[in-house]
Amino acid sequence: PTKVLVSGHGTYELEDGDEFLVEPSSGFSAVTEFCFNDEFCCTFHTSCSEPIVAGDQFGPFQILAGNDCKNDDPPTPNPINPQTRLPTPEPTRPPTSEPTMEPTPEPTRPPTPEPTSPPTPEPTSPRTLPCITGNVRIDDGNTVVDVEFNYPTLEPVPSDWVGLYPCDDANLDPPYNKEPFLWVYTCYSRVCRFEDRSTATGIGSFTIDDRTLPSYGSTATYKSLGKILTDQPGCYKILLNRIDGDSPPPYYGICEGNEIELTTSIIRNDSTPSPVNPTPAPVNPTPLPVNPTTAKVNPSLADACEVPSGGCSVCGEGKFVSAPDEIFIFPGSPFIPCGSLETAGLNGMISFDQCEFLPRYTTSFCS
């Protein structure tokens, strides 16, 4: 059997002589491609401007029935080169041999073994590695995914894009027939769908990061990496896809990448376990001075006596961040170091409405 990908309609596993039904939910596009595993494709003109009738043949595919486009008295040509599957021959049992008396063996000296040369390794296929890979890491307290792609032989176009799908979507029929949770063009930072075809080389890399995630992908079932980690952590599959006509899911799949784990276990843990035998405190510790000098809380605020005009303190009035390297986690938002959160508030990048409720979540690292 071989797999045949029908653009915009899914993948079919077929053998010579099999009959199969292509039944789109919203009609065919102007052109429909049937592509094999070896990248050979046959093209059907499926707009109603050109009738398709039973008996038409395109490459190894023959139309047997169907009447999506209205056509009065369509001709019924004879089948062209009908293919008949050959019958499977039944195995022939070998004749039963009559028992033969074995001759008395004479003692023979074993031959001297000749050195055996190592087997010649078979050449490795150039497609053994996936054309796209992803790697999860932590960058400055934020979960990011580094993506690399390399598929110049698969005719890349500017509208090619990368999607993150739950691994369980591979079990759908057909596989991955839902929208991805997160997607970006291979150019990442802009809408490059309508750029000149020559700008797509099929070789490159980018990093999916909530801090730089482009706004064009925030539609439908969109989730940021932070939202995925909070709402639906687990195994995800990286797919390289192509837009084809109206292109409802499942999309035209160029190739599948590797699986990645997006879970909260990859978040850096700064907690240090207590020693087994800690040094006991002195019986009579030295008392604190009556009027101790207050230490500066955040070096970035060493010279700041008040909140700048237009800014706000995420810790509340009169308080500042005391642990700038701690990570602030808020459901539905990217992870951010506490010092960076405070700087954003002082610079007016956080609205006053948000600043009013943030102090109830920041007490652990403010003073």
pLDDT in tens, 177-230: 888 999 999 999 998 988 999 999 999 999 999 999 988 776 556 789 999 999
For residue 87, count other CB atoms closer than 10 A to its CB.
Answer: 6
Q: Is 264's pLDDT higher than 70?
A: yes
Cα–Cα distance measured from residue 20 to residue 5, given in angstroms and rounded to the nearest whole number: 12
Angle at 232 between CA 230 and CA 236, to 5 degrees: 120
- 298-313 as b/e: b if 16+ CB within 10 A: beebeeeeebeeebbb
Greatest mean pLDDT among 15-24, 245-254, 276-285, 288-297 lies in 15-24
Q: In whole numbers, what is the pLDDT of the chain averaged over residues?
A: 76
Cα–Cα distance measured from residue 55 to residue 65, given in angstroms and rounded to the nearest whole number: 8
Q: Is 281's pLDDT higher than 50?
A: no
Mean pLDDT to the nearest integer, 78-107 = 62
Q: Could you report the per-residue pLDDT of 30-76, keeping only the tens digit for each?
A: 788 888 877 788 888 777 777 778 888 878 888 888 755 454 555 54
- 144-174 as b/e: b if 16+ CB within 10 A: bbebebbbeebebbbbbbbbbbbeebeeeee
Where is 134: in which H helix or E strand?
Answer: strand 132-139
Give residue 50's pLDDT. Answer: 73
What global pTM score does this model have? Answer: 0.41
**Residue 230 DSSP SS3:** helix
Give residue 147's pLDDT. Answer: 97
Q: Could you report the per-residue pLDDT of 323-364, keeping only the tens digit for each?
A: 888 888 776 566 788 888 888 788 777 887 778 888 888 888
Integer angstrom CA distances of residue 73 from 55, 70, 76, 88 = 15, 10, 9, 40
